[in-house]
Amino acid sequence: MAPLAARLAAARKIADGRRIIATDIESRLGTRFTADTMAELTRRFPRAKFVWLMGADNLLQLPRWNRWARIMHAMPMLVLPRPGATRRALASMAAQRYRKYRLPARSGLCLAAADSPAWILLPVKENSASATELRRKSAQAQKE
């Protein structure tokens, strides 16, 4: 993965700072796995309504993650299209297993209040920013 500082800087460019906040909370929580981060966030902020944001490329590989089914059940999920991955992600094991919990995109404003598992594929322009690209740029910058 790209260094945390680079990933955080890229996320902050996308986040609006009000409803979407990019933080380094995982490093402060001391969690390593997404399922642990989600559990700790809901424990520390019991009244907050969280929505997990992830790219379609991550939905595609989600079954390889530690306790991936727990992730699907932890909080509603908003999946962002990713170049070359969106169609494959919709045919993936995770998407197929949880297809009956997929909500229409128009439900997006209500997603935080939805019972998990619930997920939406947001119909927006695909964003090509990726950790792989950040790593490549970082390596290139270090060589120069």
Q: How far apart are the first and last CA of the chain?
A: 20
Buried b (16+ CB within 10 A) or exposed e, 89-108: bbebebbeebeebbbeeeee
For residue 91, the 8-state DSSP code is: T
Q: What is the pLDDT of residues 9-48, one digit of tens each?
A: 888 887 777 777 888 888 899 998 999 999 999 999 999 9
For 74-84, the pLDDT digits (tens) are: 999 999 998 88
What domains can be seen in the chain, in order of their start residue?
4-143 (3.40.50.620)
CA-to-CA dists, residue 109 to 46, 60, 112, 120, angstroms: 20, 24, 8, 11
The answer, as to whether pTM is greater than 0.75, is yes
The C-alpha atoms of residue 32 and residue 130 are separated, in whole angstroms, by 20
